[in-house]
């Protein structure tokens, strides 16, 4: 499966490098109900190699809010990588001009804003918005800060092919609040490559929120109906070799 990368310089959102058959778009509107403006950048996921072990958890949560156009519109989380600069979200959340605020709460970004400098998504998402490929990896940097994001927040390890039945912690940032909502729920299989969880209170803005069990992230809110058409049931693409290959392509 071909992979698309967006690797602009810190302030140059227009610079695009495309590898394989993926397609990157720099303008337009996303399909996500979580925001009404901004340009989607889509690519196709490949696969992941599950990393060794994540950095020990720090005082600031690895889960945070994605910002663009002056407001937060989706959720993302730090995933373990060698460089310590990798964030995971839903592909339908991707747009130009994004920043990530880890540990965002009560309107405060304790570690400031981290600029998204690269995006990798799957070709199948780029070409047809395949809900089974609704995930994306973002590379982030903070100008003037030599530390990696992961060294400050810790990270979850990417978990693939873990099956469908788990007790997870789900975290997301509703559009209407400046603090996250958190739920513990049990996942079930909803389709061949889709999983779901019944957790009340996850409306627009929580897309990209991680599904975490035992320190592994095994899903993000997205997939079927862009994550669900009610705030009480959320969906995720099943994490298998597609996301594993995408992860491997990003981390080298």
Residue count of the chain: 252
Residues 182-208: tens digit of each pLDDT? 999 999 999 999 999 999 999 999 999
- What span, in angstroms and rounded, lies between the C-alpha atoms of 175 and 35? 8
Whether 50 and 77 map to the same domain: the answer is: yes
Q: How many structural domains is the chain composed of? A: 2
Whether 33 and 50 map to the same domain: the answer is: yes
- CATH number of the domain enclosing 68: 2.40.10.10
Whether 212 and 101 map to the same domain: the answer is: no
Q: What is the pLDDT of residue 102?
A: 98
Whether 32 and 13 map to the same domain: the answer is: yes
Q: Are 66 and 51 in contact (CB under 8 A)?
A: no
- Mean per-residue pLDDT over the chain, rounded: 81
Q: Which residue has the higher pLDDT, 6 or 149?
A: 149
Residue listed under structure tokens 């690895």: 62
The continuous run of DSSP H or E covering 65 comes out as strand 63-68
Residues 142-185: tens digit of each pLDDT? 999 999 999 999 999 999 999 999 999 999 999 999 999 999 99
Whether 126 and 232 map to the same domain: the answer is: no
> pTM for this structure?
0.79
Whether 111 and 125 map to the same domain: the answer is: yes
Residue 9, SS3 per DSSP: coil
Whether 95 and 137 map to the same domain: the answer is: yes
Whether 58 and 112 map to the same domain: the answer is: yes
CA angle 219, 129, 96 (to 5 degrees): 85
Whether 63 and 171 map to the same domain: the answer is: no
- What span, in angstroms and rounded, lies between the C-alpha atoms of 95 and 151? 26
Backbone conformation region of residue 193, classed left if phi is above 0, alpha if psi is from -120 to 50, else beta: alpha
Whether 137 and 32 map to the same domain: the answer is: yes
The residue segments making up the domain with residue 166 are 157-240
Whether 163 and 113 map to the same domain: the answer is: no
Q: What is the pLDDT of residue 252?
A: 83
Whether 118 and 34 map to the same domain: the answer is: yes
Q: What is the pLDDT of residue 40?
A: 32
Q: Are 10 and 143 in contact (CB under 8 A)?
A: yes
Residue 246, SS3 per DSSP: helix
Q: Give whole-number Cα distances, 210 to 34, 109, 146, 156, 172, in Å.
A: 16, 19, 26, 9, 8
In this model, does residue 108 exceed pLDDT 90? yes
């Amino acid at each position: 499966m071909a992979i698309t990368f967006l690797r602009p310089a810190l302030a140059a959102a227009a610079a695009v490098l495309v590898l394989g058959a993926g397609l990157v778009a720099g303008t337009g509107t996303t399909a996500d109900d979580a925001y009404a403006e901004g340009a989607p950048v889509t690519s196709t996921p490949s696969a992941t190699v599950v990393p060794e072990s994540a950095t020990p958890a720090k005082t600031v949560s690895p889960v945070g809010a994605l910002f663009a156009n002056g407001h937060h519109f989706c959720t993302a989380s730090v995933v373990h990588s060698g460089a310590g600069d990798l964030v995971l979200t839903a592909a339908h959340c991707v747009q130009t001009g994004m920043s990530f605020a880890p540990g965002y709460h009560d309107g405060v970004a304790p570690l400031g804003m981290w600029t998204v400098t690269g995006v990798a998504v799957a070709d199948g998402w780029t070409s047809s918005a395949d809900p089974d490929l609704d995930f994306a990896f973002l590379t982030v940097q903070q100008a003037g800060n030599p530390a990696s994001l992961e060294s400050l927040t810790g990270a979850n390890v990417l978990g693939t092919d873990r099956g469908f039945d788990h007790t997870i912690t789900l975290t997301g940032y509703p559009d209407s609040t400046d603090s996250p909502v958190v739920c513990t729920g049990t996942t079930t299989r909803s389709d061949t490559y889709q999983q779901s969880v019944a957790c009340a209170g996850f409306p627009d803005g929580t897309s990209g929120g991680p599904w975490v069990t035992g320190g592994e992230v095994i899903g993000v809110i997205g997939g079927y109906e862009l994550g669900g058409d009610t705030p009480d049931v959320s969906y995720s693409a099943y994490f298998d070799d597609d996301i594993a290959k995408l992860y491997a392509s990003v981390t080298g």
